[in-house]
Amino acid sequence: MKPLVFAANWKMHLGPPEAREYVTTFLARYRPLRDREVWFFPPAVSLEAVAGGLAAAGRDDLVAGVQDIHWEPRGAFTGAVSAPLASQAGARAALVGHSERRHVFGETDQATGRKVAAALGAALTPVLCVGELLAEREAGQTLAVVTRQLEAALGGERLDHAVLADVVVAYEPVWAIGTGRNATPQDAALVHRHIRSWLVQRGAARTRVLYGGSVSNKNVGGLLAERELDGVLVGGASLDPAGWAELVRTGAA
Ligand code: 13P
């Protein structure tokens, strides 16, 4: 079994001094547990501070990543961060296709495919986020939407099973993000089984599939009791280092 992943997406919070203080507090509160890894996705400006703090601790259960990348390695793309630049700042992973990138910034399915390829090209682990809008769920389209997003980002001839095994998928229903309304463990497991069967058909049975959307210290135990979940991707409840350390520690028996 691969270790569980507890991933913290800080979104647009915590600048470099705050990030350094956060890492110090987190490290003081959290001792490594063999069955789990903790991944941090700070804003790009804080990436080097986080990666440096984690590297200084010399712990390979802790990973720094970037929240978004451009598909080109360099060039005239004002405001964007590329996979090689994030790698230079210490990233080992990259979120791709987060729902806020898709629905606030208009990222297309096609762009997610190019970003997955860019991440892999720079030896970053892509964490592909998929998930349906509330209207899509209510119209019974959840599995079709997730399939379309998987196909666009990971399908076709693009990735063979060895590469797919190292990708991470995060199922984040859009209606559950930042709303306090999480999917039930059963809701999540149903979609996870669908994602898993898509991966298994491509020979990638061991790809980790995370759940995200209003995960908290209160509901994480119930969610991870579902064996289909290989970890969680957490926004709001990851912003306080002591609370996050507690969530990671108690998140699964
Ligand atoms: P919340 O945990 O704040 O709902 O955010 C989830 C998320 O989008 C993580 O990527």
Low-confidence ranges of the chain (pLDDT < 50): none
Q: What is the pLDDT of residue 253?
A: 64
pLDDT at 181: 85
Three-class secondary structure of residue 155 per DSSP: coil
Index of the ligand 1 atom closest to the CA of residue 177 = 4
- Residue 55: predicted pLDDT: 96
Q: Cβ(85) to ligand 1 under 6 A?
A: no
Tell me how far the alpha carbon of residue 55 lies from the centroid of ligand 1, in angstroms: 25
The residue whose CA is least distant from atom 5 of ligand 1 is 235
pLDDT value, residue 158: 64
Residue 79 buriedness (CB in 10 A; 0-12 / 13-18 / 19+):
exposed
Please tell me the distance between residue 234's alpha carbon and the centre of ligand 1 in angstroms.
5
Per DSSP, the three-state class of 71 is coil
Ligand 1 centroid to Cα of residue 84, in Å, is 26
Q: Among 169, 234, 244, name the best residue to mutate to test ligand 1's pocket (greatest count of ligand atoms within 8 A of Cβ).
A: 234
Distance CA 242, CA 151 (A): 38
Q: Is 9 in the pocket of ligand 1 (CB under 6 A)?
A: yes
Dihedral class, residue 38 (left if φ above 0, else alpha if ψ from -120 to 50, else beta): beta
pLDDT for the residue numbered 104? 97
Q: How far apart are CA 239 and CA 144, in angstroms?
A: 33
Residue 239, exposed/middle/buried by CB under 10 A (0-12, 13-18, 19+)?
middle
pLDDT attached to residue 218: 95
Q: How far is the CA of 211 from the centre of ligand 1 (A)?
A: 10
Enter the tokens of residue 87.
């790698």
Dihedral Cα 205, 112, 70, 129, nearest 10 deg: -60
Cα–Cα distance for residue pair 112/85, rounded to 1 Å:
18
- Torsional sign, CA 78, 84, 89, 92: positive
Question: pTM for the full model?
Answer: 0.97
Please give the positions annotated as active site: 98, 172
Q: What is the pLDDT of residues 210-236, one digit of tens each?
A: 999 999 999 999 999 999 999 999 999
Label each residue of 96-147 as H, E or C: ECCHHHHHCCCCCHHHHHHHHHHHHHCCCEEEEEECCCHHHHHCCCHHHHHH
234 lines ligand 1 (CB under 6 A): yes
Tokens of 128: 């592909």
Residues ≥6 apart with Cβ < 8 Å to 42: 10, 14, 19, 49, 50, 64, 67
